[in-house]
Structure 1
Amino acid sequence: MSKRFTSAAEKTAPQPSTAAVQRNKRHGTPTTILSLDLDILCTIFSFLDMFDTVRCSLVCKFWNGIVWSRTLREFYERKVNDSSSSSSSFPSSSELNERTLGRVLRNVAMNQHRLALQKGVFHVDLWRGHSTRVAQCRMKKGMVGTGVGDKVIRLWSLDSYKCIEEYSTPEAFPLVDFDFDESKIVGLIGTRLCIWRRNGKRSIFPSNEGKFGKGLCMRYIDHEAVVGCDDGTVRIFDMYSRRCSQIIREYYNIRSFLC
């Protein structure tokens, strides 16, 4: 009697079930938030208040289109229906365009802010930071920067309300404005820019005397410092070359504030 042996290579492995294959495919291709369809997103957005809905509009162009074309209009229509004087306070939906919708929603937002300030609960922490009046205040990354009044810039911890660093300004120049990040403080002193490194080093840019009369305000975003001047110009300085890289002219007004 003869026997036939089958090698392991000839044996066929058991086939997985159809359900298991589909489950593995689902696990292999995760679903992203951008794969949600229009109706699902509109349902989710309908549970949000106006402020969170507007924040969602900044995520991507797809969400922005949904929010402005449907969700905010639905919010507006609910606001009209809830208002006892809708005929006089709000334009009808047929008269509504994007500009009108934006104006109405801004008014709604201002009213909500006003009510929050009137009825909200606030906890105020107060401490003495300088010997004279604080002229500038900045808050970034859990720290508050204050100064200008007494030629001292101080950084404060928002956890302990204690001064963690202090920087003195040159005696010969008035400190006009300053800004800071995690590695440095940039200040506008007269017509010069000054950098205080967090490791203690200080450097002053060459004088811009004669290039503009007076700097009134300043903002810093790595690697550029933006200075608003009394001659109506905004001057952008490159922090690496220490040169003015761009001048934006606005003749009709002085630049006393920058965002």
Structure 2
Amino acid sequence: MKKIFSVAALAVSAVLGVLYLLSLLWWTDPSTGFVTWGGTQTRYFAMLFPVLLAFCVGRATSAKVRFRNAWRSTKVLLPVSMASAVYGFMTIFSVLFGAQTPSRSHHLTATLALLGDLAELLLAVLFLLFSLWGILIFLGGHQGQTSASLYLGLAGSTAFFLHTVLCFLMQPASLYRIPPVVEILAALAALVFVSTYLKVYYLPEQQGSVRGVCRNGLLAFFFCTCLETPQAIWQFANGEGSLLNLLLGIVLGLVGLWGAMVSSKVSWNC
């Protein structure tokens, strides 16, 4: 039953991702983010199906199952880490040399602009720490569970927390503009999955944690890989998103693939 729910969640997520991309291409105004045909309620309602399936996978997984070495999927951390490093270095270069895209707000003061630059620099540094953690885990395999790597992983994971906060602060608050909502949901999904993964990676003896990995990995795959990454590419192609936004969308998409691989290994083999 777990495998059926997992396959269904992956399939439904992929199909809805394709439909969402078509909706962006044909029935969404790139400059405003408003839907030009169909209701927003239908789109939000469709998002419930993979979410419910992800929760079903989590509930179907036994609470007594523990995280195993074979389920860690550390190999996929290499592309995630490389993309995070590219985003981090590009962001630092963009902020320091003034190559970043201007803020969407026309009333931003110099002080707020400076704070925004500092937040972007901090986000870049945190993603670099996350990249370093991923590379160390990839190179160390199952021997990477040291206190040093734990602290590095915790520090790097705060990149997703800061990204989530920045999404809430910078995105216009309107349920009728779906792209900003998708960006916020993707940030939350990535944050929750990475946090859960760190918990079960360093504390595999805790019972019940595997449920969270299965559920949150599928949620990250849907919101990050199937929705946010195609949206970032669409925004960049229409001149509504910067190169940094595109790179961050790719990072989140790879995190979602990582979550799908971990969730599939667990739910298909336990």
Q: Same fold (TM over 0.5)?
A: no
Structure holding more strand per residue? 1
Higher relative contact order (CA 8 A, sep 6+): 2
- Largest Rg, 1 or 2: 1
| TM-score, normalising length: structure 2 | 0.22
